[in-house]
Amino acid sequence: MANSYVTNLYPKPTTGVTDQTLTVDSTAGGVQFGTAFNSLTRYIVLDVQIADVRVTYDNSAPVGGTSSPNGHILFAGRSYTWSKQAATAAKFIRSGGVSATIHASEFTD
Bridge partners for 93 per DSSP: 54
Structural domain contains residue 76: yes
R_g of the chain, CA atoms, integer Å = 15
Residue 11 lies in a domain: no
pTM (2 d.p.): 0.88
- Domains identified in the chain, total number: 1
- 10 domain-assigned: no
| Structural domain includes residue 52 | yes
* pLDDT at residue number 5: 59
Asked if the structure places residue 80 within a domain, the reply is yes
Q: Report whether pLDDT(78) > 70.
A: yes
Q: Is residue 64 assigned to a domain?
A: yes
Q: How would residue 74 be classed by pLDDT, with cut points 50, 70 and 90?
A: very high
pLDDT digits (tens, 9 = 90+) for 14-59: 999 999 999 999 999 999 998 999 999 999 999 999 999 999 999 9
48: in domain: yes
Find the domain containing 63 and state its range.
Answer: 23-107
In this prediction, residue 11 carries a pLDDT of: 83
The answer to whether residue 29 is domain-embedded is yes
